[in-house]
Chain A
Amino acid sequence: MPKHTEEKEITVGFIGNPNCGKTTLFNAFTGANLKVANWPGVTVERVEGSTTYKGRTIKLIDLPGIYSLASYSIEEKVSRKCIMQENIDVVVNVVDASSLERNLYLTLQLLEMGKPVILALNMMDIVEERGMEIDLHRLPEMLGGIPVVPVSARKRTGLDVLLHAVLHHYEEGVKDRVVHYEPELEAAISRTEENLKKYYGELVHSRWYAIKLLEQDEEIIQYYPKAAVAADINYEKQIIHQKYNYIDEIVEDTLFNKESKAQATDKVDKYLTHPVWGVPIFLGIMALVFFLTFTVGDFLKGYFEIALDWFSGAVSGLLIKLAVADWLQSLLVDGIIAGVGGILTFLPNIFILFLALAFLEDSGYMARVAYVMDGIMGMLGLSGKAFLPMVLGFGCTVPAVMATRALEKEKDRKRTILITPFMSCSARLPIYVLFADMFFGKYAMLAAYSLYLAGVLAAIGIALVINHFDRGKTEGTLLIELPEYKSPNARTIAIYVWEKVKDYLTKAGTTIFIASIILWFLLNFNLQGMTEHVADSFGAEIGKILEPVLRPAGLGMWQIGVALISGISAKEVVVSSFSVLFGIGNINSAAGMTELTGILESVGFTALNAYALMIFCLLYTPCAATIATIKKETHSWKWTLGMVLFQLVFAWLAAVLVYQIGGLFL
């Protein structure tokens, strides 16, 4: 590592096992509101932030949680590359003190990399609660003298001490020989180090590279092929084994009263992961989540509507008083306020949905879902782990698609990415709330439920078909850590929910705002300039092209064509489009709904048409942000566009089926 002592910035990399409280600690320093959850694999990309301590700027990088520095998963590769190649001055290894034994494995590997390491002993409160004790003098001794700092990310203690340690140790190297392997292995390491030197000159941390070469690490072999040992000799098993032997020694020497207290987690697990009742309990919990979303959300919604009505009226009045040009009045009131404001009234539903999901994630239940659903997912050729992104999909498809990184195999990832958009995300919620309320009266909630179910069934059906033609070999390969249950932390949940609410508001202020303006323009102009008759506008022209295609699905209105195209920018835009298209000021209010229902019913648009529309919205092309994420994750435009096309056709077929078959009975 080149030693330029810049007085300004120190770069610190946060690394640790999944679910060790790394991100919570990172947030405590940077004030950044990163998402935290009590299940492994939340941080899928590195995130940066910064803080200052004693006048020095300290740049912090939060890396994905990993168990080891091998190169088997994407997260491991990302983290390792970051530590190896970037100018990270200090590594802060965050360790779950209540699970020291497993966490130290990563620590020993980090020490071998030769960068300064500081051990942040997190969750010391839990250790104390359980009556365990850690010898804080002996532990650093056994880890080559690195600083060991007890912290509590949740209670925000020990933070300054940690920064102090960063400041004082960032220039110190570590003893790269904390673990002494058995003589045979040490000899092999020395031989490989010599070979490295012979072919590639003097290397910093050559011991680490030598060890990785002996482990047959694919990446390192590519860098230093000449120093690699014969492919049939793999020392990896021995190396892991001997590291754990050393960990056993450390634990023996430093940890006291191990597990003296019975753990509540096992008792709770008796019920929640019950062989028979596990699945029904999970379904019940999800049903409760959506019940709360609809009922409590609807209760709060009323106040938002009153506020919007008042605001819209006030702006309108003001504009008339100021004698603002007609077109500008129209743009502001019919375009922007109707479009953006209409979406804002759904905020309470979104808020409740994410609050419920935050509770599930923070409590530690989410990882159990992977176990509970493993049997069912096995029939689809996927592991239970693939179910986690699907549950996340109920919130937003974008992070759900990114969460598929936790799946080891590329094929499983792609399958999961393909079916995740069928899980009804929160953006589709306004569509269901609106149309179910308008056309299904007291059965509105049932209608909305059925769409969630239809989405899940579509996902399962497609996975089944794929598995029929291309049998997945992942059956029974589930492997996931189940964290301890904990009472959800108010701060963590607040950050999580606020992040989502902020996203929603941002989307309303950007995507939906712009979409509303464009839509307003398309609906009020044609080649001759501004037009009085919507039916002559650009928008109508575009919509009319789609009319014949959508007719078999009962959606043969040019307005619907326009709304669906706009909906690709963000699914909520389908709803805001209806406001703008039909000139309804407050679409989510009783008056607004009655008005829209009246207009639609007058052209023969019934509950069946509404249901076909909702089915189409559920299944068709996900929003632009999702498409971009899928492209990024799959690295293939061909695959992404193929998926988009498939979903479009699938949605059309499903909507046509619903409308045609429904028509036979109604």
Chain B
Amino acid sequence: MTLYEGKTGFTYVVKGIHLEQNSITRRLEALGLNEMTGVQILNRKRSGAFIIKVRGTRLAIGKYIAQGIEVEEVKKNA
């Protein structure tokens, strides 16, 4: 699944980033969004923009980016 299909409040693990624009991919990686990194969805809008938390930092990302991030759900730990 992609991050775009994710639900608010849930945490996912990044499996891969597939974006046409290489520069955005590299930028995401530089921000610490790599394979196996945990991502929590804090907020999302109907337009498809998300607020996510990665490595303790909040990032706002657009729909196109959210659609290009492949993730897997993590079982919720109490």
Contacts and interface: CB of A to CB of B under 8 A. Distances in A.
A53 to B, nearest CB: 33
A32 interface: no
Contact of B42 (A101, A237, A266, A378): A266
Contacts of A29: none
B67 A476 contact: yes
Interface centre among B37, B42, B44, B62 (most CB of A within 10 A): B62
Given A102-B55, A273-B43, A480 B30 contact: no
A449 B10 CA distance: 42
B63 interface: yes
B47 A481 contact: no
Contacts of A258: 56
Contacts of B18: none
A240 B30 contact: yes
B59 A481 contact: yes
Contacts of A273: 43, 51
Contacts of A237: 29
B6 to A, nearest CB: 15
Contacts of A265: 58
Contact of A478 (B31, B37, B61): B61
Interface of B: 21, 23-24, 26-32, 34-35, 37, 42-49, 51, 54-67
Q: Is the interface of B mostly helix, strand, loop or mixed?
A: mixed
B58 A374 contact: no
B26 A102 contact: no
Interface of A: 67-68, 70, 72, 98-99, 101-102, 105, 236-237, 240-241, 244, 247, 258-259, 265-266, 269-270, 273, 275, 278, 367-368, 370-371, 374-375, 378, 383-384, 408, 475-483
B56 A102 contact: yes
A479 B32 CA distance: 13
Contacts of A378: 47, 62-63
Contacts of B21: 477
A378 B66 CA distance: 15
A99 B57 contact: yes
A480 B60 contact: yes
A236 B28 CA distance: 13
A240 B51 contact: no
A479 B67 contact: no
A98 B45 CA distance: 28
A68 B30 contact: yes
B45 A375 contact: yes
A478 B49 contact: yes
Contact of B60 (A105, A270, A384): A384
